[in-house]
Amino acid sequence: MWVIAGVLLGLVVLASLLGFHAGPHVHALAGVLGVLAAAWLVLMAVEGRSLPVLWALLSADVVVSAGVGVLAWKGLTARGGTGPMHRLLTAEGAEGLAVGDLAPEGIVRVDGETWSAVSLNGFVPAGGRVQVIGAGKVRLEVWGEESLPGGDAPPHPQPSPPGVESERHPL
C-alpha cells in the first residue's frame, strides 16, 4: 500500500512541476492525481495504518493538490492575455518611434517596449514615427510616416572638390 501511495504522490509532484511548462491542463491532471492520492491515504488510515508520516503526507498532498487546482482553474478560465505582448498583438495600428534608422530593418519603441522591426515602405530615419501593421513572434512590421522609397539610407551629399560649385537638388 505504501508503494502505491508513493507512486501517486510522485506523480502529483511530477505533474505539478510539468504544469508550469506545459500549461493548465497538466495542472488539472496533477489536481486529479492529488485527489486520488488523498483518497488512497485516507483508505490507508481507515485500515489502521495511522502513522504520523501518513498524516504528514496527507496534509502535504491536500495543500499541493489545492494549489495546483487553483492554478489549473485560473489558467483554464482566463480569457485572453493582459500582458504587453497581448496588448500589442491585438492592437494593430499602435504607434511608436524608430530608435535607430530602419533601413529597412532596425529597432522601434512601441508602448514603452523596444522591438525589432522591419519597415514595409522603405527607409525610416531615427526618431521617425511608425505605425504597427503586423507582428510576428519577435519582429514587428511597421509603416514609417517619414519614410523614403526603397530600403536604402538617403544619399549623403558628396563633397565637391575645392573651387567647384555643386548644384543642390532637393530630395
Are residues 96 and 122 both part of a single domain? yes
- For residue 171, the model assigns a pLDDT of 46
pLDDT digits (tens, 9 = 90+) for 10-56: 888 888 888 888 888 888 888 898 899 888 888 888 888 778 888 88
Are residues 70 and 96 both part of a single domain? no
pLDDT at 164 over 50: no
- For residue 146, the model assigns a pLDDT of 73
Which of 77, 94, 109 delimits the end of a domain? 77
pLDDT digits (tens, 9 = 90+) for 65-97: 888 888 888 888 876 554 444 444 455 788 999
Cβ atoms 107, 124 nearer than 8 A: no
pLDDT at 162 over 50: yes
Q: Please indicate, yes or no, if residue 133 is contained in any of the structural domains.
A: yes
Tally the domains of the chain. Answer: 2
Largest CA distance in the chain: 109
* Domain span at 52: 2-77
How far is CA 109 from its chain centroid?
Answer: 18
pTM: 0.45
- Give the three cell numbers for residue 89: 498583438
Is 117 in a helix, a strand, or coil? strand
Q: How big is the chain, counted in residues?
A: 171
Backbone angles phi, psi at 99, to 5 degrees: -75, -45
Are residues 91 and 64 both part of a single domain? no
Mean pLDDT of 154-171: 48
CA–CA dist 34, 10 (Å, integer): 10
Highest mean pLDDT among 83-87, 90-94, 119-123, 144-148: 119-123
